[in-house]
Amino acid sequence: MQNSVHIGFETETIIIFTFLAISGLVIDLFAHRADKPISIKAAALWTLFWITIGVAFGIFLYFHFSAEAASLYFAGYAFEMALSIDNLFAIMAIFSWFGIKSGYTHRVLYWGVIGAVVFRLIFVLIGTSLFALGPYVEIVFAFIVAITAILMLRKKDGAELSDFSAHPAFRFVKLFLPLYPKLYGHNFFISKEHVEEELKKEENKDIVLKRKGLFYATPLFLCLAIVETSDVMFAFDSVPAIIAVSKDPFIVYSCMIFAMLGLRSMFFILDALKNALVHLEKAVIFLLFFVSFKLAAAASLHLFGVGIDIDVYTSLIVIAVVLTFGILSSLIFPQKNKKSTPDK
């Protein structure tokens, strides 16, 4: 496929792109302002909503520029979707590690879009010069994903944390930033005055704050920061691949953003299925180890000449097979679902 199309940064195109992305985000955030868990049906409809917006922008490129510009956009869009599937499992592991309530996951993911939009723009503008660091980043993140999978494996079903004082991420970050160890509604930050009020409560008498400030980050913000780190790590893998499809920065950037927004809605389908199907979580944990191996093997091949580079199509086949096995085993052996047992 030829990739010499250059549409540049035309004002009208930028306005259309910005309008579609921002209006879609505003509608999505407003619709989920109540912090309620998202059902499979609702997640599927919101996924369709974002895919429709992404397709609509591709159709605009077709009529406004050319069929070639639209074809490059759709190729990049589909490729970004395929490459970023791995990130869904990493995000799921992060939420499990933090024990974040299902109602708060949408807020974390979609406010995190702001950071993802900024970092993806930096990656695209810098281009390939940044990606020399890619293999080193992959090794680090392979280790992080593997450790997170182990923690997810050891974590009790349905466990949700109320106090994050002993959480490894909290214990590390509190050395540098003012942190409050408990969730405060869906807030990412809590003011000094509210912290002082909380500390007066009997159940909080043992809380000792390492650093003090005018505002304190909550564990929800810490989770958001790690989700954003996950997105940046996976961008080292996906951005160069999309740049190979098209050299036009705006096509690259727009297809990545709309694909990312669609994938974030797909996350809730997977999360809802995981909660409904007992063995699907085991399949997700297996896939996390697969993602860790994939990252480490590719990095080793690039750095030391020993390893394996698992292509995106093989990866998708593995993911499809493992998820199908997890779903079918849950349907065949539903009696083992501990989550369905009523509380005593």
In-domain check, residue 185: no
pLDDT band at 331 (very low <50, low <70, confident <90, very high): confident
Question: Residue 64: which domain range?
Answer: 11-161+218-334
- Least Cα distance to 87 among 244, 261, 222 occurs for 261
Within 246-343, where are the H helices?
Answer: 249-276, 280-304, 312-332
In-domain check, residue 230: yes
The set of residues, in sequence order, having a beta carbon less than 8 Å from that of 82 and lying 6+ positions away, is 312, 313, 315, 316
Mean pLDDT value of segment 93-114:
84
What's the pLDDT at 15? 93
DSSP letters for 228-245: HHHHHHHHHHHHHHHHHH
In-domain check, residue 83: yes
Within 127-167, where are the H helices?
Answer: 134-154
In-domain check, residue 344: no
What's the pLDDT at 163? 64
Rounded to the nearest 10 degrees, what angle do helices 40-64 and 11-31 cross at? Answer: 170
- Residues 201-251: tens digit of each pLDDT: 888 888 878 788 889 988 889 888 888 888 877 777 777 777 777 778 889
In-domain check, residue 208: no
In-domain check, residue 203: no
Triad 273, 278, 284: Cα angle to 5°:
65
- Residues 120-171: tens digit of each pLDDT: 888 777 765 556 666 777 787 788 778 877 877 776 555 566 667 766 777 7
End-to-end CA distance of the chain: 62
- Taking the complete model, does pTM exceed 0.85, yes or no? no
DSSP letters for 72-138: HHHHHHHHHHHHHHHHHHHHHHHHHHHT--HHHHHHHHHHHHHHHHHHHHHHHHHGGGGGGGHHHHH
Structure-block tokens of residue 333: 């052996």
CA distance 294 to 311: 9
In-domain check, residue 188: no
Mean pLDDT value of segment 308-314:
84
**Of the listed ranges 71-80, 239-248, 315-324, the one predicted with least confidence:** 239-248
Structural domain count, the chain? 1
In-domain check, residue 168: no
CA distance 22 to 96: 29
What's the pLDDT at 340? 42
Cβ atoms of 16 and 60 closer than 8 Å: yes
